[in-house]
Structure 1
Amino acid sequence: MTRRTHYLGPLTDSRRWEAVPLRPDDVIVVTPPKCGTTWMQTIVALLLSGDPEVETELSIRMPWVDIRHRDLAEVAGRLDAMTHRRSMKSHTPLDGLPLDDRAQYICVFRHPLDVHMSFRKHVRNIPVPWFEDWYPENDTGGRTFRSFLDGAPDGFDCDAVPLAHILRHYGSARALADRPNVALFHYADMKRDLAATFERVAGMLGTSHPAPLTARLIGAASFDNMKRNAARFAPSGGKGFMKSDSDFFHRGANGQWHSILSDDDLAAYNAMMEAHLSPEDRAWLEHGSGAGSGHLR
């Protein structure tokens, strides 16, 4: 068996997956944070249930296995007791997860700078005080972006989502993208054509619904509907964990960094991207298939 990389951060412990034996039909959504994890989990829940009104309750029904703040025995026991087809979430790169040729791995990516800007807003909405070290509320010296560029892909840094962690996620997924049970999706493509995303995910899951029902499922997964019903769709929605369930979805926009990052910031980011990715891989990671980089599985 290939040795797995161990990711251990303030939130993450990838060894927790050892307590969850995989089943042949399991569906695992694997993403860096703020790349469309909840969106993709919702799409999976809608397609597996065929019910536009399905109660997603993602943190319970489709749990984040590697988060350290939930009792592992309880999570593993809850998953073991499920008699329906299971889906789970992970923010651990694929090189740290158990790989089963019969399970489905759905990996979602987003422009790294959009991830960074979205995470900046996210940390202001959740009660996790240690994020203040990386994301100070009054960051007049540019500390936040320097940490984004300098952070390590694993260890303590991984949960603060530095660029190196996003690149590790992408490299691990691309290395396995030739497998029929591993697929890469991009947030920008999901925004451009949500119906095509549903069709592709349905193909992976082996699900099929009549066209009128599929249209209703797609409508349920629209950004406006999920934000409007944030208590239903946000992780731990309606439980008071976040300051605002609706702000979890914020705007769903891309390119917000244009007016915030300096020319020096962008030059440093560009140098790191060019050092680690081919032009084709960089184009896809930033813009998806709309970049003209071709279709990546």
Structure 2
Amino acid sequence: MSAELASRGGEGTRMFKFRGVFFMPEIYKPEILEQVEDFSVRDDDVFVVTYPKSGTTWMQNIIALMYMEGDVKQFENIVIAQKVPWLEVQLNVIQARPSPRQICSHLPYHLMPKEFRDKRSKVIYVMRNPKDTLVSFYYFYNMVKHLDTPKDFQDFLENFINGQVFIGSWFEHVRGWQENNHPNMLWLTYEEMKKDLPAVVRRISKFVGKHLTEEQLLAVVKHSSFKAMKASPTVNKENLDSVFDLTKGKFMRKGKVGDWKNHFTVAQSEWFDTIYHERMARLDLDFTWDMPQ
């Protein structure tokens, strides 16, 4: 089994490494991660793939609503992970589902199923500017009971840059998916979803071949607004008190673009920029780093 306990020191360090990537115990199991490699992919599967805190729950909600023709009442009491289950956690659930299946994953490209590379399944990959991703991830770490609480923002910044966090390096995750471009991929950014959600929902609908009426499309948009999702206990994960310490905040916090400016010092920002340009050279990435709220 390709798993080992993480050795980042400190009391409460419980992450384990699987093929070079950090995972949380209790939620992720090495034996399930092993089985992912041989998972049977179907041509009509739709995968939502993200690095953590990049718009994952948002896209899960959009895809779930899209396949329910915008009728939120069909699953308003069903948690988001049951609507669009996790490949690396809920493998048995996914295998039993009828087609077309909607599947979510944080996995880097090299841990995806072998069949995934040869199938006609579709992939929606959502990226978010890494500074905002880092800030959101920092607050996530402060809430999750299975992860060490960072000493401070600088400590977490260093761990993020060094890939010493859950799911590993943001840089490697994005590069891996960019450089091994799946033949049926839709690349989206969190920032363009914030700018014009109706336009993005229409692009997704066309990409997955889900033909909705204008009324249904608008219903998907309405129930996928940040306000609507934050108000929904099943989307905002208010039932997962075994995972989150809800006394430290909500799973969905601000959902803003440019909040990194409230956390990074000038020196931290310049250091991050230098590393970003070194590691992401030659990749055609276009992030919005700030926008009027």
One-letter amino acid of the counterpart of residue 61, structure 2? T
Q: 1:125 to 1:190 in 2, by over 3 A?
A: same
Structure-2-length-normalised TM-score: 0.79
Shifted more, 104-113 versus 248-257: the winner is: 248-257
CA shift for structure 1 position 127: 1.4
**Inter-partner Cα distance in structure 1 for 2:221 and 2:282:** 33
Identify the match of residue 133 of structure 2 among 115, 129, 144: 115
CA deviation profile, 1:104-152 (whole Å, cap 9, x unmatched) = 1111110101011001111222211x322xx22xx28x22222222x23
Maintained 8 Å contact 2:205/2:212 = no
Q: How does 1:201-240 map to 2 (within 5 A)?
A: 201-229=204-232, 231-235=233-237, 237-240=238-241
Alpha-carbon distance in 2 for matches of 1:212, 1:60: 25
2:64 aligns to what? Answer: 45
CA distance in 1, matches of 2:240, 2:155: 32
Instruction: Tell whether 2:82 aligns with 1:60.
Output: yes
**Counterpart contact for 2:70–2:217, Cα < 8 Å:** no
Change (3 A) 1:143 1:8: closer
Match of 1:159 among 143, 166, 171: 166
Counterpart residue number, 1:72: none
Q: Please tell me whether the aligned partners of residues 29 and 40 of structure 1 are also in contact (alpha carbons under 8 angstroms).
A: yes
Per the TM alignment, residue 158 of structure 1 is displaced from its structure 2 partner at its CA by 4.7
- Pairwise mapping of residues 240-251 of structure 1 onto structure 2 (< 5 A)? 240-241=241-242, 242-244=244-246, 247-251=250-254
1:18 pairs with 2:37: yes
- SS of the aligned residue for 1:119 comes to helix
**Residue matched to 2:156:** 144
Q: Distance in 1 between matches of 2:186 and 2:103?
A: 15
Give the one of 269, 274, 278 matched to 1:271: 274
In the alignment, the residues of structure 1 paired with residue 213 and residue 165 of structure 2 have an alpha-carbon distance, to the nearest angstrom, of 42
Q: Deviations over 1:176-233 (max 9, x none)?
A: 4472x1121100000101111111111121101111121111101111100111x121
Matched residues in 2 for 1:213 and 1:28: separation?
22
Match in the other structure for 1:79? 94
TM-score, normalised with respect to structure 1: 0.78
C-alpha change, 1:95 and 1:19, in structure 2 (3 Å) is closer
Identity of aligned residues (%): 22
Structure 2, unaligned runs of 5 or more? 1-17
Q: Which has the higher helix share?
A: 1
Q: Is the 2:48–2:125 contact (alpha carbons within 8 Å) kept by the matching residues of 1?
A: yes
> 2:86, 2:105 within 8 Å by CA — same for their partners in 1?
yes
Report if aligned partners of 2:37, 2:111 keep a CA contact under 8 Å in 1.
no
Partners of 2:191 and 2:262 in 1: how far apart? 20
Pairwise mapping of residues 281-296 of structure 1 onto structure 2 (< 5 A)? Answer: 281-282=284-285, 284=286, 286-287=287-288
The CA deviation at 1:279 is 7.2
